[in-house]
Amino acid sequence: RAAVDIDHVFCRLRAFDKAPGNRIGDYGLDANDSFAMTLDFSNGAFGVVHASRWATGHLNELRLRIYGEKGGIEVVHNLDGSTLKACIGENVENAIWEELDAGTVPTNYQRFTDAVRSGVQAEPSFRHAAELQKVLDLAVVSDEKRAELRASAETR
């Protein structure tokens, strides 16, 4: 089984008006600027993914939040670097978030170079990336059909 155990995908995509007729000369400006997607995982978890090139106050920022029965974590990466915060243990009852030391994380370029040099496939693998791409492709179809779609056995 693949590492991505997704049962259902529901997605909406948007390309915003950026120029008259959404064109610059012969070039059409049809790239998606924002999306919202919900995911049902086979283990019962529910995921919400949102990405936007137009989120006011967030320049080139990535933010990941995961919530579970034992607490939550948040990773923020932006032009100033990365931070890791957690609300776990005794802090859960009072909603106290603490910044944690995540250590140094190699860039994707460094990880790729290390994998080529060592001959050892890095994790997550290219197979994992291919499985994620299948989910993204399904998200596009979900938007086109305006429907929640069940992920195929290959995607799960």
| Domain encompassing residue 26 | 6-58+104-150
For residue 155, what pLDDT is reported? 53
**Any idea what the Cα angle at residue 87 is, between residues 51 and 71, rounded to 5°?**
85
Task: Judge whether 40 lies within some domain.
Answer: yes
pLDDT tens, residue by residue, 99-145: 999 888 888 899 889 999 999 988 888 888 888 899 999 999 999 99
CATH number, residue 127: 3.30.360.10
28-86 pLDDT, tens digit per residue, is 999 999 999 999 999 999 999 999 988 899 888 889 999 999 999 999 988 888 899 99
134 is a domain residue: yes
**CA distance linking residue 109 with residue 127, whole number of Å:** 18
CA distance 124 to 48: 21
- Tally the domains of the chain: 1
Q: Is residue 65 part of a domain?
A: no
Considering the domain boundaries, does residue 79 fall inside one?
no
